[in-house]
């Protein structure tokens, strides 16, 4: 059973003084997230990521379309007991201490009193806020608020967690801890859906990603799927300090670096290049398909969408 | 009662207390003590009348100011600060949030009124050197003031569900002022004719009737308050507050939290 099935969710706001002018925030979105995966929802600012998340949380009503979460209609209150949500740049009741905040959210999520105390201590430990649990949130830094936000999202041990820009405001160590936390959640069988525009986080964490731009889905798949098909080129590395003439004849772009030579050529020329190295009795070190980075793919999709009106999915 | 509503109400109460709303009690204590001492010095035979009038009017005004200024922010502030997102993404229905907020503010005002009532009785004791049986009527006036607060809370919440805090404050305060002259509006409706009569009668029934809830002067003059008026006012305030709250829920249920 998929954890999330988005079936044509669409949002158009009416703007202007008389609310007559339509502004489309999200074109009909179809997306499936499997149980137990870490799914990255990528896009630049204003792409429609937060609108999608808000619709799934019931904060914004879709113009059309529907969704199913954990096999149930997404509007069912019983579904909400099984999901956690960290909004973008979270702000909490600043007159509460971290412990009181978690206790309040635990009460609203229906965590029994007998489990709540233990569970609060556990998540405070997980996010590194144990030492400041008695401090009012108005004295928290941005990074500490982000940690409190993560704590409240996982407090009730949800099966599915939505994080909107979870690394925002965190220092490198904090980002590492959040990555580890997401991996722990995945290991415990939870599904993590997170939106970000930090591609290195998505590349390091995600089983699959979706790219959204200007309210439209531009691509979806594993990182490998999205990045392997771009160039159809391979990277070949061999030991040596010179480029044989036979390799030059193949038109291989070569770069000598110390005791090794790195060459880039098309997949079609791969066998011919290996034969040439054999003939020259040069030792082959590696040959790997040349992948583009997720960033290059992302930028290409965004640039492509600027110049074409068609769907790129 | 639904436990989620109670948790929201309790958190709203805690917010009001920690945001130092009850500091107004200090202002009230200073005002009422000063007034009692002053009245003791300059009034002859009418100390009780002055203290009861002044005390209850102050209780009412202090409470109305708190009801409006907290009430108008109950929903809009949560949307603006986005604290609502982490509440409504839990198994909390929107109507539960509204009702919880209302009960939290109403609870704050009841506690506030109880403390101010102690101040009024203390001032009365200071000037009269005793409390007599007719002073029990002050409790009835305080009860009516609390009913007045319930209506103002619900109206503030209604405006807060669709408007900005500033406009909500203007609407709520205007209704409080107009509602305080509801008897005059009804009197005008009785003597006028034609479309003006229809308009005045409609407005008189639609706007909150705070005149009926104001028995401060009667109590100060030790006039009897009938049980029928108590029942009528109770029913009126509860129905009016319920209708305003229903309106707030209807609007809030459809609102996109952008």
Q: Mean pLDDT across the stretch A39-60?
A: 93
CB contacts of A92 in chain B (<8 Å) are 83, 86
* pLDDT tens figures, A255-286: 888 888 888 888 888 899 899 889 888 899 88
* pLDDT tens figures, A57-106: 999 999 999 999 999 999 888 899 999 999 988 889 999 999 999 999 99
| pTM score | 0.85
Q: Which of A95, A105, A107 sits opposite B86 (nearest CB)?
A: A105
pLDDT of residue A55: 96
CB contact residues (below 8 A), chain A span 264-283, against chain B: none
- The count of other CB atoms within 10 Å of the CB of residue B85 is 22
| Closest Cα in chain B, distance from residue A299 (Å) | 28
Q: Is A40 left (phi over 0), alpha (psi -120 to 50) or beta?
A: beta
In whole angstroms, give the CA distance from residue B56 to residue B138: 8
Q: Mean pLDDT across the stretch B37-58?
A: 82
Q: Which of B18, B86, B93 sits opposite A95 (nearest CB)?
A: B18
pLDDT band at A310 (very low <50, low <70, confident <90, very high): very low
B193 Cα distance to chain centroid:
34
In whole angstroms, give the CA distance from residue A181 to residue A151: 11
pLDDT of residue A246: 86
pLDDT of residue B34: 81
Burial class (CB in 10 A: 0-12, 13-18, 19+), A178: buried
Q: Say what percent of chain B tops pLDDT 70.
A: 98
Task: Please check whether residue A152 touches B, CB under 8 A.
Answer: yes
Burial class (CB in 10 A: 0-12, 13-18, 19+), B148: buried
Q: Exposure string (b/e) for B39-77, b if CB count within 10 Å is 16 or more?
A: bbeeeeeebbebbbbbbbebbbebbbebbbbbbbbbbbe
- Residue A127: CB partners within 8 Å, gap ≥ 6? A147, A148, A150, A151, A177, A181
Contact B89 A58 (CB under 8 A): yes
In whole angstroms, give the CA distance from residue A52 to residue A39: 14
Q: Mean pLDDT across the stretch B103-119?
A: 93
In whole angstroms, give the CA distance from residue A218 to residue A29: 10
| Closest Cα in chain A, distance from residue B254 (Å) | 8
Q: Exposure string (b/e) for A7-43, b if CB count within 10 Å is 16 or more?
A: eebbbebeeeeeeeeeeebbbbbebebeebbbbbbbb
Contact A107 B91 (CB under 8 A): no
Q: Measured over all CA atoms, what is the biggest interatomic distance in chain A, rounded to whole angstroms? A: 78
Q: Which of B19, B81, B90 sits opposite A105 (nearest CB)?
A: B90
Task: Please check whether residue A46 touches B, CB under 8 A.
Answer: no
**Contact assessment for residue A54 and residue A13, using Cβ atoms and an 8 Å cutoff:** no
CB contacts of A81 in chain B (<8 Å) are 90-91
Round the average pLDDT of chain B to a whole number and report it. 90
Contact B88 A81 (CB under 8 A): no
In whole angstroms, give the CA distance from residue B198 to residue B209: 17
Decide if pLDDT at A308 tops 60. no
Which whole-number Å values give the CA distances from B200 to B27, B182, B203, B207, B243, in the listed order? 39, 10, 5, 10, 21
**Contact assessment for residue A122 and residue A128, using Cβ atoms and an 8 Å cutoff:** no
In whole angstroms, give the CA distance from residue B230 to residue A11: 51
pLDDT of residue B98: 96
In whole angstroms, give the CA distance from residue B36 to residue B28: 12
pLDDT band at A209 (very low <50, low <70, confident <90, very high): very high
pLDDT of residue A229: 56
Q: Which of B90, B93, B258 sits opposite A109 (nearest CB)?
A: B90
pLDDT of residue A44: 85
CA distance from start to end of chain B: 31
The more confidently predicted of residues B23 and B61 is B61
Which whole-number Å values give the CA distances from A123 to A127, A168, A197, A248, B72, in the listed order? 6, 19, 26, 60, 35
pLDDT of residue A306: 65
In whole angstroms, give the CA distance from residue B73 to residue A41: 34
B210 Cα distance to chain centroid:
10
Residue A39 is inside which H or E element, if any? strand A38-42
At residue A168, what are phi and psi to the nearest 5 degrees? -60, 130
Q: Mean pLDDT across the stretch A25-45?
A: 94
Round the average pLDDT of chain A to a whole number and report it. 89
Q: Mean pLDDT across the stretch B128-137?
A: 83
Residue A285 is inside which H or E element, if any? strand A284-290
């Amino acid at each position: 059973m998929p954890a999330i099935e988005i079936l044509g969710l669409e949002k158009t706001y009416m703007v202007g003084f008389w609310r007559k002018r339509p502004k489309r925030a999200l074109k009909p979105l179809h997306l499936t997230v499997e149980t137990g995966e870490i799914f990255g929802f990528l896009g630049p600012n204003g792409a429609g990521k937060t609108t999608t998340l808000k619709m799934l949380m019931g904060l914004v009503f879709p113009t059309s379309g529907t969704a199913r979460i954990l096999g149930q209609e997404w509007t069912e209150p019983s579904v909400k007991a099984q999901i956690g949500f960290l909004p973008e740049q979270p702000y909490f009741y600043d007159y509460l201490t971290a412990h009181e905040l978690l206790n309040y959210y635990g009460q609203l999520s229906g965590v029994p009193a007998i489990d709540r105390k233990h569970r609060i201590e556990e998540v405070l430990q997980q996010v590194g806020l144990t030492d400041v649990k008695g401090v009012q949130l108005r004295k928290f830094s941005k990074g500490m608020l982000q940690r409190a936000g993560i704590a409240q999202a996982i407090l009730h041990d949800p099966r599915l967690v939505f994080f909107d820009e979870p690394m925002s405001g965190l220092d490198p160590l904090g980002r590492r801890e959040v990555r580890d936390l997401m991996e722990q959640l995945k290991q415990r069988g939870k599904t993590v859906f997170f939106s970000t525009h930090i591609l290195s986080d998505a590349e390091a964490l995600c089983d699959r990603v979706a790219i959204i731009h200007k309210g439209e889905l531009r691509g979806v798949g594993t990182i490998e799927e999205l990045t392997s098909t771009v160039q159809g080129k391979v990277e070949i590395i061999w030991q040596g300090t010179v480029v044989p003439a036979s390799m030059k004849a193949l038109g291989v772009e070569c770069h000598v670096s110390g005791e090794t030579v790195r060459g880039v050529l098309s997949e079609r020329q791969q066998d011919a290049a290996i034969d040439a190295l054999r003939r020259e009795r040069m030792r082959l070190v590696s040959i790997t398909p040349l992948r583009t980075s997720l960033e290059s793919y992302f930028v290409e999709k965004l640039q492509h969408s600027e110049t074409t009106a068609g769907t790129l999915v | 009662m639904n436990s989620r509503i109670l948790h929201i109400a309790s958190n709203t109460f805690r917010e009001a207390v920690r945001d130092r709303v009850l500091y107004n009690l200090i202002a009230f204590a200073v005002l009422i003590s000063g007034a009692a001492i002053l009245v003791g010095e300059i009034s002859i035979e009418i100390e009780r009348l002055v203290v009861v009038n002044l005390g209850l009017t102050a209780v009412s005004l202090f409470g109305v100011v708190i009801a409006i200024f907290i009430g108008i922010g109950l929903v809009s502030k949560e949307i603006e600060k986005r604290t609502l997102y982490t509440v409504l993404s839990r198994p909390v229905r929107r109507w539960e949030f509204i009702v919880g907020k209302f009960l939290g503010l109403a609870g704050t005002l009841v506690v506030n009124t109880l403390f101010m009532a102690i101040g009024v009785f203390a001032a009365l004791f200071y000037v009269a050197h005793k409390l007599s049986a007719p002073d029990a009527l002050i409790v009835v006036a305080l009860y009516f003031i609390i009913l007045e607060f319930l209506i103002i809370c619900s109206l503030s919440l209604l405006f807060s569900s669709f408007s900005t805090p500033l406009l909500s404050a203007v609407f709520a305060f205007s209704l409080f002022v107009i509602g305080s002259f509801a008897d005059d509006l009804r009197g005008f409706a009785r003597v006028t004719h034609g479309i003006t009569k229809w308009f005045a009668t409609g407005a008189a029934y639609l706007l909150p009737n705070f005149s009926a809830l104001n028995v401060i002067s009667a109590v100060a003059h030790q006039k009897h308050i009938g049980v029928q008026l108590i029942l009528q006012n109770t029913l009126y305030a509860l129905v009016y507050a319920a209708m305003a709250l229903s309106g707030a829920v209807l609007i809030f249920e459809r609102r996109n939290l952008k």
